[in-house]
């Protein structure tokens, strides 16, 4: 004959249900998977560029190469990467008391919010923060303006003087 659960069992069941239900509801509420960046995503990426790169960020276009990068990815990774900025934004709104979109915050508030992600005790938040940080910075410093600011000479200037051999597969190139 079934017995009523004890108080401890009741809480254990409740905790187990929460573990199962909360991520499911979170998943349902999260922005849907997509294969390209939407306007909101691009606003987040642009805001992150300003916070991470600092002065002169306006001279650097990271959105064009980022869109190009997306095109090179497998479908599964495309949707994962394309949804990352919205996911970051959505969760930031939940976590920030004002509930404001990341792109609309002041630069100081954006920097504080990003730091919060990067140093969070929750691995998931650190991972998302780092992924976006690396994505944005890598694209800032593969841009000629970013490279020049770092003093990088870019593609080797002498290469046109040297013979460039073509790969051969038994047919003319």
Partner 1 sequence: MRLSGNTVEPEFHRRVQAVVVGTGPGGSTVAKRLADAGLDVLMVEAGAYVPAREFSQNEGEMMRKLYREAGLRTTDNGAMAMLHGSVVGGSSVVNYLDCFRTPETLLFDWVKRFGLPELTPEKLRPRFEKIEEILHVRKLPVANLNLNNDLLRRGSEALGWKGDTFHRNAKDCYGSGFCDLGCSYNAKQSAAITFVPLATSQGATLLTDARVERVLLSGDRATGVEGTLVDEARQSRGRFRIDADLVVVSGGAIHTPYLLLGSGVDDPSGQLGRNFWTHPGTPVCGWYPGQRVANYEGIKQGWYIGEFSDVLNQNPIGALIEGIGAPPGITATIFPGLGLERQRQLQRYNEFTAAGILLRDSVPGRIGVGKGRPSIDWSLAPADAHRMKLAVARCAEAWLASGAAAVLTGHSRVTSIRSTAELAKLDDAGWASGEVALFCFHQMGTARMGHSPQVGVVSPTGRMWAYENLYVADSSLFPTASGVNPQLTIYALADVVADGILHEAAGSQLH
Residue numbers at the binding site for partner 1 (CB under 8 A): 51-56, 65, 68-69, 71-77, 81, 111, 114-115, 118-119, 123, 126-131, 133-135, 137-143, 146-147, 149-156, 158-159, 162-171, 173
Pick the closer one to partner 1 by CB: 2 or 158.
158
Pick the closer one to partner 1 by CB: 31 or 65.
65
CB of 12 to partner 1, least distance (A): 28
CA atoms within 13 A on the CB side of 147: 10
Continuous segment of H or E residues that includes residue 173: none
Query: How many residues appear in the chain?
Result: 173
CB of 152 to partner 1, least distance (A): 5
Pick the closer one to partner 1 by CB: 31 or 126.
126
CB of 39 to partner 1, least distance (A): 22
Handedness of CA 23, 28, 29, 35 (dihedral sign): positive
| Whole-angstrom distance, CA of residue 132 vs CA of residue 4 | 49
Q: Which residues contact 29 (CB under 8 A, 6 or more apart)?
A: 90
CB of 6 to partner 1, least distance (A): 37
Residue 141: both structure tokens together: 């410093």
Pick the closer one to partner 1 by CB: 28 or 164.
164
Pick the closer one to partner 1 by CB: 9 or 119.
119
CB of 153 to partner 1, least distance (A): 8
Q: Which residues contact 57 (CB under 8 A, 6 or more apart)?
A: 49, 50, 140
User: Maximum CA pair distance of the chain?
Assistant: 89
């Amino acid at each position: 004959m079934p017995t009523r659960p004890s108080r401890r069992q009741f809480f254990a069941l409740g905790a187990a249900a929460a573990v199962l239900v909360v991520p499911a509801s979170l998943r349902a509420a999260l922005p849907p998977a997509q294969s390209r960046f939407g306007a909101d995503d691009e606003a987040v990426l642009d805001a992150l560029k300003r916070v991470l790169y600092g002065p002169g960020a306006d001279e650097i276009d990271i959105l064009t190469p980022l869109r190009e990068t997306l095109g090179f990815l497998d479908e599964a990774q495309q949707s994962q990467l394309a949804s990352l900025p919205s996911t970051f934004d959505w969760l930031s709104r939940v976590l920030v008391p004002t509930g404001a979109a990341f792109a609309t915050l002041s630069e100081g508030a954006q920097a504080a919010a990003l730091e919060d992600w990067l140093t969070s005790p929750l691995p998931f938040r650190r991972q998302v923060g780092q992924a976006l940080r690396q994505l944005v910075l890598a694209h800032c410093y593969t841009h000629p303006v970013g490279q020049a600011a770092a003093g990088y000479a870019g593609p080797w200037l002498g290469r046109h003087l040297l013979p460039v051999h073509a790969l051969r597969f038994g047919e003319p190139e």
